[in-house]
Structure 1
Amino acid sequence: MTLKNKRYFWIQLTQDFFKSKEMKLLRKIAGGDTHTIIYLKMMLISLEDGGRIYYDGLADNLAEELSLVIDENTEDIKITLIFLESKGLLTKKSDRDYFLEQVPEMVGSETASARRVRKFRENKLALQCNNDETKRNGDIDKEIDIDKEIDIDKDKNPIEVIVEEYQSRIAPLDGNQLEVLKEFITLDGMEAKVVQKAIGLAADNGKRNFSYIKAILTNWKNDGVLTIAAVDERERAYKESKISKRTSNKKSNVPDWSQPNYVNTTSEETKEELERRKKELLDRLETGES
C-alpha cells in the first residue's frame, strides 16, 4: 500500500556499538573498515523492512546483488556476509530472505508531516530565543501550513493511521503483518480504533513485537470484544474486579472463636431445668450449705 505521508528512517547506534566484541573482530580482519561500512550500508537498505534483506535472484548470489545496490566490491561483501552469519548478526530465513538481527533495536522513524512539525517547532524555538527580531512572514506561512497539515491528518484513512501508529511506537510494519491487522477489521468486524488500542497497550508495556499485539487482538476477537466501547468496558470491569478482590481479602477484626453468627437452640424445658439448678446453687451459697 502506498502512503501519501512519506516516512523517514534512520539508524540509532548505541554508544558502545563499536566497542562490542563483534565489531572489534570485524574491524581486525583484513579490510575491516570496509567490511564495517558494508555492514552499515546493509542496515540502511533494510530499514524500511525492519531489518530484512531480500535476494531477488537478479544476480548469481546475494553478494553480487547487494553490490549493485550499495556499490561495494562483491568479494568484500561475501566476506562480510560470512562474518555476520558466523556471529549471529545475520540469519537466513529462506533462500531469498535474510534478517539483520541488530536492526529492530536501532531503527528510528517519523512521518514527513511529523518531520515538518518537528523542524518547524525547532525553528520557532530558535526564533523565540531572539527577542529583538520580529516574526517573519515566512514563519507565519509555515505555521499556517502546519495547521493545515494537522487538519488533514484528522481525515486520514484508518489503515494509514494504524500503520503510522505501529511504525512510530513499535517498529517498521511489513506487508504480511499489515494484512493480518487489516483482516481483524475486514474479516472479523473489529473497529480500527481497537487495533490502535492494542498497539498502544503493547508499546506502554514495553512489548514491541507483532506477536504480542496479534495475541491481544485474537483474545479480544474470541471474547467478542470488537468495539472500542467494549474494550473500555472490559478494562473498567477488570479494574472493579481487582478492587473487589482486594476488599474481600481484608480480614475481619472479630476473632473466629467469638462465633458472631451463633444461634441459641436450647429447648424451653432445658432452660427451665438450668434455671432451677442455678437457683438451688444460689440458695446454698446464701445459707452456707456445702
Structure 2
Amino acid sequence: MSNKKYYWLKLKEDFFEEDAIAWLEEQEKGKDYCLFYLKLCLKSLKSNGLLIRNVGSMLVPYDAKTLAKITNTDMDTVRVAMDILTKIGLIQILENGEIFITQLQNMVGSETKWAEKKRLQRQKKDNVPRLSGQCPIEKEIEKEIEKEIEQDTDKDNVVVNCFKYAQKVGVLLTPYHYQELVSYIEDGVDDNLIIRAIDIAVGSGNRNFNYIKGIINNWLSSNIKTLLEAEDHKRKFKKSKSIGEKDGKYQDYAKHLDSKVEGGLSTEETIRAAAELGIEL
C-alpha cells in the first residue's frame, strides 16, 4: 500500500511582523509580493525549498513567464517580486539557476498518510469514554504506532541535516538530489557516512553531487552503510596493501638470494642482504 506523504506550510503568529515580511508589505503592491512569496513556498515544500524544472535529462530554471503561470501572478509583479525577494534574502538564485527559498526549512510540516491515519485514530479513541483500561495488546500496538511515527520524523530530520550540511560546504543541490538523499536514508545508509562522503568530495575540490553519489555507491557495493564499517574497511584495505607490499619485498629478497653464490650465505650475509631491501630479519 502506498504511504503518500503530505506537506504543509507552518507560519508563526508573528510571521507578518518579521522585518523582511513587514518591509515587503510596505512596498507598493507589497501584499501581492507576499502572496507570490507564499505561493513559491508552497510550490517548493516537497523539494526542501528548491525550485527547478526537470525537462527530460536537463534541469531548466524557472523563467518569469513560467513562474507567473504556476503562481497565477501577472508577469510584472513576478519580475519585481523576484528582484525584491532576492535583495532582502528571502530567496537565492543558485549557480545553475535554481530558486532557493532560504527560510523554508523553518516553515515545513510533513506527515505520511499512515501517520495521519494513526493520529486520527488516536484522536477518535481519546474522545471515547472508556469503561476499563487498555488490554496489554492494545498498549503494545499503541507503542508500536508511536515508535513508527517517531522514526518517520527522525528520518526527515536526518535528510534535512545532510542537505543543509552539503549546502553549507558549497555543494550545489537540486530537489532530485534531496530525493536521492531520502532514498539513501531509507535504504539504511547512516547520515554520518553521507556527511563523510561530502567531506571527501569537498576535500578533493569536487562539489558535484554525482561525485558524492559515486563515493556512497562504492561503499554500498561493499555493503558498507555506516561510518564505523567504512573506517573498518579502510583499515583492512591498508593492512592487506601493507602485506602485499611486504610479500613483494620478500619475493625480491628471494631473487636476490638466488643471485648469490650457490653454496648459500652465512647468517650475517643473509641479514645484510635483507637489509639492502629494507627487510628486517
Q: What TM bracket, shorter-length normalisation?
A: 0.5 to 0.7
Structure 2 stretches lacking a partner, 5+ long? 132-137, 164-174, 200-224, 235-281
- Residue of structure 1 equivalent to 2:156: 167
SS of 1:120's partner is helix
Going from structure 1 to structure 2, the CA distance change for 1:52 and 1:162 (only over 3 Å counts) comes to farther
TM-score normalised by L of structure 2? 0.52
Q: Is the 8 A contact 1:26 1:35 kept in 2?
A: yes
Give the Cα separation in 2 of the matches to 1:77 and 1:162: 40
**Matched residue, 2:25:** 27
Kindly indicate whether the alpha-carbon contact (under 8 Å) linking 1:7 and 1:112 is maintained by their aligned counterparts in 2.
yes
Q: 1:19 to 1:184 in 2, by over 3 A?
A: closer
TM-score, normalised relative to structure 1 = 0.51
1:13 maps to 2:26: no
Find the aligned partners of 2:47 and 2:61 in 1 and give their Cα distance. Answer: 23
Q: Say whether the 8 Å CA contact 1:10–1:109 is kept in structure 2.
A: yes
- Aligned-pair distance for 1:80? 1.1
Partner SS, residue 7 of structure 2: strand
- For residue 128 of structure 1, report the CA deviation from its aligned partner: 3.0
Change in CA separation of 1:120 and 1:162 when aligned onto 2, cut-off 3 Å:
closer
Distance 2:157 2:73 in 1: 32
Q: How many matched pairs?
A: 183
Deviations 1:144-184 (A, max 9, x none): 9xx7xx89x99xxxxxx998752266539743245467679
Equivalent pair of 1:59/1:65 in contact (CA under 8 Å) = no
Structure 2 residue aligned with 1:52: 50
Contact 2:159 2:185 survives alignment (8 Å): no
Q: Give 2:84's aligned residue.
A: 83
* Larger-Rg structure: 1
Evaluate the alpha carbon distance shift between residue 88 and residue 212 of structure 1 in structure 2; reply closer, same or farther with a 3 A threshold: farther
**Distance in structure 2 (CA, Å) of the matches to 1:120 and 1:64:** 45
Counterpart residue number, 2:232? 224
Please list every run of 5 or more consecutive structure 1 residues that lacks an aligned counterpart in the other structure: 132-143, 155-160, 186-191, 203-209, 227-290
Cα deviation 1:24-45 (Å, max 9, x = unaligned): 1110111111111111111001
RMSD: 4.3
Note closer, same or farther for the CA distance 1:212–1:48 as it changes in structure 2 (3 Å cut).
Answer: farther
Counterparts of 2:44 and 2:93, CA distance in 1: 14
Percent identical pairs in the alignment equals 21
1:15 shift after superposition: 3.0
